[in-house]
A = this chain, B = another copy of it.
Amino acid sequence: MGKEVSEKILDLAMDYIMGRGYNAFSYKDISREIGIRTSSIHYYFPTKGDLGKALAQRFFQSTTEALELIDKTTQDPKEKIRKFVRIFYDNLKSGNRACPVAMLSSDYENLPEEVKREVINLIQLQETWLAKVLESGIKKKVFKFSGKPNDKAKAIFSAIEGATIASRAFSDPGRILITEDLIINSIT
């Protein structure tokens, strides 16, 4: 049994967003690759905002699971952060795709309202997780920094997002790794 059409649409839209951004792909791009007409895509996702929202929500789900997996398999806070960064690195290595949150954030002003809301949720999910890891690292005395874990989490996430954008633009995934060093150095 093949994949549902709506799933194929979401997969392709995700690739386009990670590679070019939300406003740089069209229903036509997707229709061409799937082999159906643009009007058929509107059957599944009446507006592009609907598509963006569905896609962001699906990504929220898979990100939640990825973070839970890290928590389940790793205790050391420093190692958790390394695994977190690894996700972004792998996306860049395989297909030069930036984090969808970074792409959506840099296009934030031009997004439909319903998509904006999902972007906020995605950032909060990841920054909250990072803050929790930082706190546990402080408690275990493997991390050392001044300031609130929450603020540190914001700075770390921004740094990773910036690195994915530069990495993708210049096809240089190595930028993620040197950013990982910067982050680890700043909290140990």
Interface, chain A (partner B; CB < 8 A): 19-21, 23-24, 102-103, 105-110, 119-120, 123, 145, 147, 151-152, 154-163, 165-166, 168-170, 175, 178-179, 181-183, 185-187
In the assembled complex, the Cα of A168 lies from the Cα of B161 at a distance in Å of 14
Q: Which of B19, B20, B161, B175 contacts A155 (CB 8 A)?
A: B175
In the assembled complex, the Cα of A186 lies from the Cα of B106 at a distance in Å of 26
Q: Is the interface of A mostly helix, strand, loop or mixed?
A: helix
Q: Which of B108, B178, B185, B186 contacts A169 (CB 8 A)?
A: B108
Closest to A169 in B: B108
In the assembled complex, the Cα of A154 lies from the Cα of B147 at a distance in Å of 25
A156, A162, A170 — most chain B CB neighbours (10 Å): A162
Question: Are B179 and A158 interface neighbours, CB within 8 A?
Answer: yes
Q: Which of B123, B154, B186 contacts A183 (CB 8 A)?
A: B186
Residues of chain B within 8 A (CB-CB) of A156 are 182
What is the CB-to-nearest-CB distance from A26 to chain B, in angstroms, rounded to a whole number? Answer: 12
In the assembled complex, the Cα of A156 lies from the Cα of B155 at a distance in Å of 12
Question: Are A110 and B178 interface neighbours, CB within 8 A?
Answer: no
Q: Kindly list 8 other residue pairs between chains A and B, CB separation below 8 angstroms, not including A158-B165, A162-B165.
A: A24-B107, A102-B106, A108-B168, A108-B170, A152-B182, A154-B166, A155-B163, A159-B162
